[in-house]
Amino acid sequence: MGGMTQHAHPARHIRPEDHDLAVWSRAIAWILLAVILIALPFVVILAGDPPAARGFLRDFSLGLGFSALSLAGMQFALTGRIKPLLHPFGADIVVVFHRFLSWGLVALMLGHFAILYIWHQDDLGVLNPMHAEPHMTAGRVAMGCFVALVASSELRQRLGLDYLWWRRLHVALALLGFGAAIWHVLGAGHFTGRDGTRGLWLGATLAWLGLIAWTRLWRPWQQWRNPWRVVQNRDEGDGVRTLVLRPEGRPLTGWRPGQFAWLAVGTSPFALREHPFTISTAPDKGPELSISIKPLGDDSERLSKTPEGTIAYVDGPYGTFSIDREADSGGFVMIAGGVGITPLIANLHALQERRDPRPVILLYASKDWEEIAFREELRRIARDIDLRVIHVIQDPPEDDWPPQDHETREGMIDADLLADLLPDESRDWPHMLCGPAPMLEAVRKALRDKGVPLARIDSEIFEMV
Ligand SMILES: Cc1cc2nc3c(=O)[nH]c(=O)nc-3n(C[C@H](O)[C@H](O)[C@H](O)COP(=O)(O)OP(=O)(O)OC[C@H]3O[C@@H](n4cnc5c(N)ncnc54)[C@H](O)[C@@H]3O)c2cc1C
């Protein structure tokens, strides 16, 4: 641990926009903007000269339809990987917003249809698409698309739907549904016929379409112009392979340790065939990226075998699972299961490069002692910083156990183990968790029971959908 004093205080590495106050202000500003965008159509309708009311229920139902369309447009912003929007919340929380808003959106659309179907059949006209007006059929197509979007996402794992095919279906249904909804609104012409309101709807539509074009065309094009080359593919143990990528164009900017990027190898960046992976090294080490991949499915298997020299495309950085958001913490508790070690390794690399003096306790759960990714790497890092690593092994070997030169425990990470290993003063340190979902749930509960404040528990989730 020599030489620590020559390094600056840890807080020096925290950027102004990562301080709590800045993060909270941005989060509130985004939420206010969302509320304004949803309310805007109603304000314009009410402020203008509304057409003669034709019954509360009918107008209410139209209101539900307009709100559904606003929410649908907003979904493109939530899934468009807009960095300033993701920054205060984190990519996983935004996915959760996206999911709940989708349920709300479908409920509003069904409510819109149901009210007209029950009380204002004359407005709906005939349902048979052969005889119905096209813009009315478009409305029903939109509703069908959005119901299918939510159902296919909620049931994806149960239906065994392959992730990539689900994603393509998702994008196609979203575009078709949104386009059909716009056609329906403009075709029906309620509250859209006069110059002001028509301009508002056209403007909003163009803004959302611009956002889609930016996400699906402009950003992939930027990736295509800035390729990366795989310069190394090495074994880390436990089947994990690390790809080292060198920038052939612009390197990543503004990257924090613990963040992730979307990686596409062997396909064009336009192909939607990309996967999120943690950058398992720290920006302090230079512009090369390391991506450590555990082959758990078809694509991760393929990616882990990428030959050196191959071109790759990277979209990032994203995510908030970083020590760079922790200016004032007295230390860190890190808890990893299996390949969930990758974001923690990245953060540890940063602490190592900076010779950060703060203590770190890492509990690392693995199945076997023989196969542990980054075992030696962790030992090297522990020579440079105040890092205590405890390997928790589910099936320890019969012979030579426990090893003399490592701290180990048998079994799983549970409340007793945490009570035994974590000192009282660590309660207010950030607890950074990454691993399989059941492990995260059990550890989170045990930490809460131990009195760790919720705000001090942060987890990275590898299965977003
Ligand atoms: C923020 C984040 C960081 C990650 N970091 C790492 C890492 O450092 N190392 C590592 O080995 N794995 C990491 N993963 C997991 C990795 O993305 C998946 O293992 C990989 O995408 C699986 O793809 P597959 O085709 O091999 O498997 P499949 O069998 O097709 O998928 C297995 C599961 O992985 C998830 N998944 C698959 N594709 C995607 C995708 N494009 N986007 C989101 N989720 C997907 C789905 O939940 C799916 O059910 C990370 C995931 C996330 C969300």
Same domain assignment for residues 156 and 256:
no
Query: Residue 444 Cα, ligand 1 centroid: separation in angstroms?
Result: 22
Atom of ligand 1 nearest to the CA of 163: 30
Looking at 222, 241, 272, the residue that finishes a domain is 222
* Lowest mean pLDDT across 138-152, 177-191, 241-255: 177-191
Question: What backbone torsions phi and psi does residue 237 show, to the nearest 5 degrees?
Answer: 95, 160
Q: Ligand 1 pocket test: pick from 275, 303, 318, 342 the residue with the most ligand atoms within 8 Å of its Cβ.
A: 275
Question: Quick one: 72 and 213 in the same domain?
Answer: yes
Most informative mutation of 93, 163, 301, 458 for ligand 1 (most atoms within 8 A of CB)? 163
b/e sequence 169-206, b meaning 16+ C-beta within 10 Å: bbbebbebbbbbbbbbbbebebbbeeeebeebbeebbe
Residue nearest to atom 29 of ligand 1 (CA): 297
Tell whether 7 is covered by a domain: no
Verify that 106 and 212 share a domain, yes or no.
Answer: yes
Lookup: tokens for 94: 């935004």
Q: Does residue 427 sit within a domain? A: yes
pLDDT at 198 over 60: yes
Q: pLDDT tier at 351 (50, 70, 90 boundaries)?
A: very high
Same domain for 121 and 184? yes
My answer on whether 175 and 36 are in the same domain is: yes
Task: Indicate which atom in ligand 1 lies nearest the CA of residue 275.
Answer: 41
pLDDT of residue 7: 52
Q: If you average pLDDT over residues 327-348, what whole number do you get?
A: 94
CATH number for the domain spanning 427: value is 3.40.50.80
Task: Identify the burial level of 209 via C-beta atoms within 10 angstroms of its C-beta, where 0-12 means exposed, 13-18 middle and 19 or more buried.
Answer: middle
In a domain, 10, yes or no: no
- pLDDT surpassing 50 at residue 6: no
pLDDT of residue 328: 79
53-67, 208-222, 407-421: least confident range: 53-67
Calpha distance 133→187 (Å, rounded)? 9
Residue 2 located in a structural domain: no
Portion of the chain with pLDDT greater than 90, in percent: 66
153 domain-assigned: yes
Last residue of a domain, one of 264, 286, 318: 318
pLDDT(52) > 90: no
In-domain check, residue 66: yes
Which residue is associated with the tokens 């691993």?
435
State residue 93's pLDDT score.
Answer: 87
Residue owning the nearest CA to atom 25 of ligand 1: 299
- Of all atoms in ligand 1, which is nearest to the CA of residue 304? 11
Q: How many domains does the chain have?
A: 3
Nearest atom in ligand 1 to the alpha carbon of residue 280 is: 8
pLDDT band at 101 (very low <50, low <70, confident <90, very high): very high
94, 278, 290, 300, best to mutate for ligand 1 pocket (most atoms within 8 Å of CB): 300
Same domain? 170 vs 138: yes
- Output the CA 415–ligand 1 centroid distance in Å: 28
Contact present, 421 and 408 (Cβ < 8 Å): no
Examine the domain organization and report whether 283 and 396 are in the same domain: no
Position 181 scores a pLDDT of 94
- CA 346, CA 290: separation in Å to the nearest integer? 9
| Site residues for ligand 1, CB cut-off 6 Å | 162-163, 260, 275-278, 292-294, 296-300, 319, 339, 342, 462-465
Do 84 and 218 sit in the same domain of this protein? yes
CA angle (24, 28, 32) in 5-degree steps: 170
Rounded CA-CA distance 438/459 in Å is 12
Of 86-100, 302-316, 379-393, the poorest mean pLDDT is in 86-100
Residue 268: which domain range?
226-318
Residue nearest to atom 42 of ligand 1 (CA): 275
298: CA distance to ligand 1 center in Å?
Answer: 10
Closest residue to atom 32 of ligand 1, CA basis:
297
> What torsion do the CA atoms of 179, 181, 186, 191 make, to the nearest 10 degrees?
-150
Do 253 and 276 belong to one domain? yes
Mean pLDDT across the stretch 346-363? Answer: 96
Closest ligand 1 atom to 274 CA: 41
Domain boundary among 222, 241, 257: 222
Residues 151 and 246 grouped into a single domain? no
Label residue 352 by pLDDT band (50, 70, 90).
Answer: very high
Angle between helices 134-154 and 163-188 (to 10 degrees): 150
The residue whose CA is least distant from atom 40 of ligand 1 is 275
**Could you identify the residue written with the tokens 């078709």?**
176
Task: State the distance from the centre of ligand 1 to the C-alpha of 273, rounded, in angstroms.
Answer: 12
CATH code at position 252: 2.40.30.10
Which atom in ligand 1 lies closest to the alpha carbon of residue 460? 1
Highest mean pLDDT among 162-171, 206-215, 309-318: 309-318
What spacing in Å lies between the alpha carbon of 99 and ligand 1's midpoint? 18
User: Are 187 and 236 found together in one domain?
Assistant: no
In a domain? residue 4: no
Are 68 and 163 found together in one domain? yes
User: According to the model, what pLDDT value does residue 19 have?
Assistant: 85
Query: If you take atom 28 of ligand 1, which residue's CA is the nearest one?
Result: 297
Mean pLDDT of the chain: 90
Q: Is residue 6 part of a domain?
A: no
Is the pLDDT at 179 greater than 80? The verdict is: yes
Cβ 336 vs Cβ 435: under 8 Å = yes
Task: Kindly tell me if the per-residue pLDDT of 107 is higher than 70.
Answer: yes
